[in-house]
Amino acid sequence: KQEVTQIPAALSVPEGENLVLNCSFTDSAIYNLQWFRQDPGKGLTSLLLIQSSQREQTSGRLNASLDKSSGRSTLYIAASQPGDSATYLCAPGASDDYKLSFGAGTTVTVRA
Amino acid sequence: GAGVSQSPRYKVAKRGQDVALRCDPISGHVSLFWYQQALGQGPEFLTYFQNEAQLDKSGLPSDRFFAERPEGSVSTLKIQRTQQEDSAVYLCASSLEAGSSYNEQFFGPGTRLTVL
């Protein structure tokens, strides 16, 4: 069973700082890994999907890296803004399964 | 087109009541998933449909939970005789093709169930 760990569990930074969110997973046999954002009381918004053959994926201020062999992914958010405050979840997609396994998330607060 | 929609968005039930949660997936999506998210945790898989066939219900926590997708589009998750531990956000997701995590899953806004 895939186990996913996200560190730190919570993070509070002043506006403008760069954010580094870590995700580790136990089973490296994955097709891809998705990063999601979840606002309080809301569903999941997909931010980035990085394929197992890729080492990184970028979208605007967001950059996700993937080291499949070591079971790690990192989400970088540059020049954070108060609107980035949310919980960020990672979900590796196993190559022999269709369901996603999620970490508990990192809750980010960006202070104005 | 529209994304995945779920209704109701919020549901309060008294312990012992039955509830039904609805999911409208993206039109044409073959795969449909239900996940349960407890407070402060990541979503946990409940069940998977490929068209109208329920191929995996291994995550359903008890026989009080039942899901169906009779025409291969809209799905309903039913919880009978609700208990306080059923309080959670129930998320529905769909993907275009069948049977692989290779296919990106698109999530709905969820239904927050509170059992008093």
Angle at A67 between CA A9 and CA B58, to 5 degrees: 65
Interfacial A residues in 55-84 facing B (CB < 8 Å): none
Among chain A residues, the shortest Cα distance to B101 is held by A98
Of A30, A44, A95, the CB nearest to B91: A44
Angle at B55 between CA A38 and CA B98, to 5 degrees: 65
- Taking only the tens place, the pLDDT of each residue in A10-40 is 999 999 999 999 999 999 888 889 999 999 8
Interface test with A, best of B105, B113, B114 (most A CBs within 10 A): B105
Query: How far, in Å, CA of B51 to CA of B97, rounded?
Result: 10
Q: Is the Cβ of A105 closer than 8 Å to some Cβ of chain B?
A: yes
Question: In the structure encoding, which two tokens stand for residue A71, read together?
Answer: 């079971």
Would the pLDDT of B101 be above 70? no
* DSSP category for residue A100: B
**Which amino acid would we find at residue A25?**
F
- Taking only the tens place, the pLDDT of each residue in B11-67 is 999 999 999 999 999 999 999 999 999 998 999 999 999 999 999 999 999 999 999
Identify which of A21, A52, A49, A24 has the alpha carbon closest to the alpha carbon of residue A34.
A49
Interface test with B, best of A100, A101, A107 (most B CBs within 10 A): A100
